[in-house]
Amino acid sequence: MLELIPNQLGYPLLSLLIFVPVIGGVLLLAVRDARAARWIALVFSLAELALTVPLLANFNGAVPHMQFGESMPWISAWNIHYKLGVDGISVLFVGLSALLTVISIMVSWTAVTDRVREFMIALLFLEAAMIGVFLALDLFLFYIFWEAMLIPMYLLIGVWGGPNRLYAAVKFFLYTLVGSVLMLVAILAVYFAAGGTFDVLTLMNFKFGHSFQMWAFAAFFAAFAVKVPMFPFHTWLPDAHVEAPTAGSIILAGILIKMGAYGFLRFSLPFFPDAAIAWTPAIMVLSVIAILYGAYMAFAQTDFKKLIAYSSVSHMGFVTLGIFALNSQGLEGGILQMINHGVSTGALFFGVGVIYERTHTRVIADYGGLASKVPVYATFFMIITLSSIGLPGTNGFIGEFAIILGAFQHKAVYAVIASLGIILGAGYMLWLYQRVIFGTVTNPHNEHLTDMNLREVVAALPLVVLVFAVGLYPNAAFQVMHASADNLIRHVHAKAQVLPAAIQAASTLTGH
């Protein structure tokens, strides 16, 4: 039974996490100067990052409960509460969101020159909505944040994106909206089925009927699978990634696509355990397809960003594979892999952004031999590539290892195929690295490239540190999430077992 432990800090930490960026964004409305806008945005995002320090420091990883809880009535006619809390599953994402927003602002410092103020407002509002998604413990509140995210992300892609940005922005918006509205209907159905509550913790303990679970799970799946994105709902992602500005790509890869998987963990599994178990074979197969298909497509790409986008499809396949293995290794591996992927793919897009700002091309063939020209960049890119491949000692290894361990316990064949995906991943990433960094400079434009400047190094540093920190001491991350993940797994299996007996009892009563 999950409980909401009220906030003891003396100040509403979680509300501050949501409203600090909002205040920053509103304040920016009054600023005209681009320089001032950059600094104000940076200050507010740093303040937000500073707030994650007491969050992580005071977080108790030993209990699975929701912590720093806040709750007050919001729309009492519909029994809706403004209810926030954080547990081992969500706490790391809050930290990651805050970190990646700071990095996004720094990487856009000189890259974005058009309508800087609006850009920063969109980023800050996006941050608030993202963090709100991870903190909300009321389905209605969650949905508000979930949908509100679309607006700033749509604008980021559409206004500051590449040449084909309009198509990509609309595709992103419509794909995710269609998935989300189906979930909305399911949310309403859940509300009435459970006797009129949107409270997540109450709903976790509510036992829904079997057929209800099946279709409600499907509707939630529509929203989350598009967001992850799972094969075959992934087609918006390469377009969105390619056209988005660097900051947009970092946030998209780092946080937004994690929300689908987070949704599975927070809602789908605990609400509809029977349906989750029933759907598992299909989802496992889709995950494996995503792993192989994403990797296969990554090999064929000539565009830097598109390659990374397809690698994301592949990596997110690992995440869903781990989650739906429905054991604690797989689940914890899945959560850790989401954080890892956020760090490493965020860093990859950061790397692309750094070089794109100098060369204005994303075609892989336009590069080559960068090692001699920009050694710092080459080193940074090497570390990130290895992390993405999952070399032991980096963060990527731990997550993938745990997932494969979990998948093996579920069904060995998935683990075998997934391992193949790791090999393919090493293939396309190393090949990419070779084509871009090694060899001789083939493109005369690259002769006078400048290396990463101080601002870029400072922005990249936290990501590099995280790569090794998680890689060498993964226990820190596991300790935070273990209690919650373990509780979730036990909850799912315990709750699912109740049902067959209940059906039997019902059928004996009716005489069938």
Partner 1 sequence: MVISLRGFMTQLLPLYPELMVITTGLAVLMLDFLVGRKYKALLGWFSLAGVAVSAVMTIKLMGITGSFFGGTFLLDPFAVYFKLAFYVVCGLGILVSIKYLDIEDIHRGEYYALMLFATSGMMLMASAGDLITLYLGLELMALSVYILAGFMRRDGRSNEAGIKYLLLGSFSSGIMLYGMSLLYGISGTTNLGGILAFLRGADLANPALFLAVVMLVVSFGFKVAAVPFHMWVPDVYEGAPTSVTAFMSAGPKVAGFAVLLRMFAITLGPLHQHTSVILAGIAVLTMAFGNIMAISQTNIKRMLAYSSIAHAGYALVGLAAGGADGAASVMLYVLIYSVMNMGAFGVVIMLRKSGVRGEDIADFAGLGKTNKTAALLMLIFLFSLTGIPPMAGFIGKFYIFKSAVQAGMVWLAIVGVLFSAISAYFYLRVIMLMYMYEPKEEFSLVQSPSLALALAISVTAVIVIGVYPSGVLDFARASLTGIL
What residues make contact with partner 1 under the rule CB under 8 A? 74-78, 115, 118, 140, 143-144, 147-148, 150-151, 154-155, 158-159, 165-166, 169-170, 173-174, 177-178, 181-182, 184-185, 188-189, 191-192
Residue 62 or 75: the one with the smaller Cβ distance to partner 1 is: 75
Nearer to partner 1, 132 or 406 (CB): 132
**Which H, E and C letters describe 118-154, residue by residue?**
HHHHHHHHHHHHHHHHHHECEHHHHHHHHHHCHHHHH
* Nearer Cβ to partner 1 (40/102): 40
How many angstroms separate the CA atoms of 489 and 190, rounded?
A: 21
| Minimum distance of partner 1 from residue 224's CB (angstroms) | 16
Cβ closest to partner 1, residue 119 vs residue 433: 119
441, 369 contact by CB (below 8 A): yes
The residue (of 140 and 310) whose beta carbon lies closer to partner 1 is 140
Q: Which is nearer to partner 1, 59 or 191 (CB)?
A: 191
CA 207 to chain centre: 29
Contact 100, 346 (CB under 8 A): yes
Q: Which helix (H) or strand (E) holds 117?
A: helix 116-135
- We find the least distance from the C-beta atom of residue 77 to partner 1, in angstroms, to be 5
Radius of gyration for the alpha carbons in the chain, expressed in angstroms and rounded: 22
CB closer to partner 1 out of 49 and 153: 153
Minimum separation from the CB atom of position 71 to partner 1 (A): 16
How far are the Cα atoms of 191, 193, 278 from residue 502, in angstroms, in the given order? Answer: 22, 17, 17
Tokens of 361: 């091309």
User: Nearest approach, Cβ of 297 to partner 1 (angstroms)?
Assistant: 27
DSSP secondary structure letter of residue 7: P
Min CB(73)–partner 1 separation in Å: 9
Give the shortest CB-465-to-partner 1 separation in angstroms: 36
| Shortest Cβ 121–partner 1 spacing (Å) | 10
For residue 5, CA distances in Å to 69, 419, 484 come to 5, 40, 14
Quick one: tokens of 205? 């303990």
* Local structure of residue 272 (DSSP, 8 states): -
